[in-house]
Structure 1
Amino acid sequence: MPPSRRHGLVERLHDAMNRHDLDAFLDCFDPEYRSETPVHPTRSFTGREQVRRNWSAVFESTPDFRADLLRTSIDGEVVWIEWRMYGTRTDGTELDQRGVIVMGIPEDRIQWVASTRTGMDGRGRDLGGAPSHRERRRVTRSSVDA
């Protein structure tokens, strides 16, 4: 896959995130996708269905969620992306995550990601990367209660 097609996939992902188009977002991921969080290895997971659960919770709990694509670098099948993800949650707290995500894109979908995102959750707590399974459930419950 040429670099221009990998860049196009990143643009599709970015666009789907900002439109909150979960189906278009999921179409960017391989069904056997692997998410790795080196700083918090217990938060790693495998499978596109977990991506669906995680991101549907994000879109529901943060209706004005936005992502800025700050920098991208492509080296063969590996894509490095610097993001800023932000918005206001339904409970009024601010989300502001920043960091680098390294993606493996050997073909036409994202096969793996290593994430080092971090930020503050609006309550002054450091997120330190992706939320844990327990934290994702709490976000989902909060969005339903709101």
Structure 2
Amino acid sequence: MGTAAPAEEVLQRLLGAVNAHRLDDLAACFSPDYFNETPAHPQRGFRGQDQVRKNWVEIFSQVPDIRARVRGTALQDDTLWTEWEMAGTRHDGAPFLMRGVVIFSVTNGLVSSARFYLEPVEDASGDVNAAVSRVLGNTPDSREQAPS
């Protein structure tokens, strides 16, 4: 049996660090010049391992029982596609649940960049029709049919 690819190894280290709440081990999975791109929210992108650490200090303090799991992966060269679910209870007692995809690039055994599509799960925005209307800027009044 062969050894795991560096991308798979760093994923296992990262997942273990998140679930054990080991901040130093988590931050050590990322290169110092790590680049996070958040295509659906461009202003949220950032660069640097220090920001990773800052984010996770906040997450661990506000969701003290956070647990993560990776539901699936696909590896191509040094690019690892991952589907995540993170759940726990926020400090204020509210449930915390995020799901989505993170696409990691791994260089020299460290995460060098990621395209981040992980989002909070919400169930109050309506069905698919409401979502399509909202994205298109339609209001309830504009969806009413004209008289025939």
Do they fold alike, i.e. is TM over 0.5? yes
Give the Å deviation of 1:3.
Answer: 5.4
Give the Å deviation of 1:6.
Answer: 1.8
The answer for unaligned runs of 5 or more in structure 2 is 126-148
What is the rounded CA distance, in whole Å, between the counterparts of 2:74 and 2:103 in structure 1?
9
Q: Deviations over 1:4-59 (max 9, x none)?
A: 23211100100000000000001100000001100000000000000111011000
Correspondences of 1:43-54 after superposition (within 5 Å): 43-54=44-55
Partner of 2:82: 81
What is the rounded CA distance, in whole Å, between the counterparts of 2:32 and 2:51 in structure 1?
10
What is the rounded CA distance, in whole Å, between the counterparts of 2:64 and 2:119 in structure 1?
20
Q: Is the 8 A contact 2:101 2:116 kept in 1?
A: yes
Q: Is the 8 A contact 1:3 1:76 kept in 2?
A: no
Correspondences of 1:62-81 after superposition (within 5 Å): 62-81=63-82
Partner of 2:37: 36
What is the rounded CA distance, in whole Å, between the counterparts of 1:91 and 1:121 in structure 2?
17
Q: Is the 8 A contact 1:95 1:121 kept in 2?
A: no
Give the paired residue count. Answer: 123
What is the rounded CA distance, in whole Å, between the counterparts of 1:121 and 1:21 in structure 2?
28
1:56 matches 2:57: yes
1:120 matches 2:121: yes
Partner of 1:95: 96
Dislocated runs of 4+, deviation >3 Å: none
For 1:117, the aligned partner's letter is: L
What is the rounded CA distance, in whole Å, between the counterparts of 1:20 and 1:108 in structure 2?
21
Q: Secondary structure at the match of 1:63?
A: coil
TM-score by length of 2: 0.78
Q: Is the 8 A contact 2:70 2:85 kept in 1?
A: yes
Q: Is the 8 A contact 2:68 2:87 kept in 1?
A: yes
Q: Pairwise CA RMSD of aligned residues?
A: 1.7
For 1:40, the aligned partner's letter is: H
Q: Is the 8 A contact 1:30 1:110 kept in 2?
A: yes
The answer for unaligned runs of 5 or more in structure 1 is 126-146
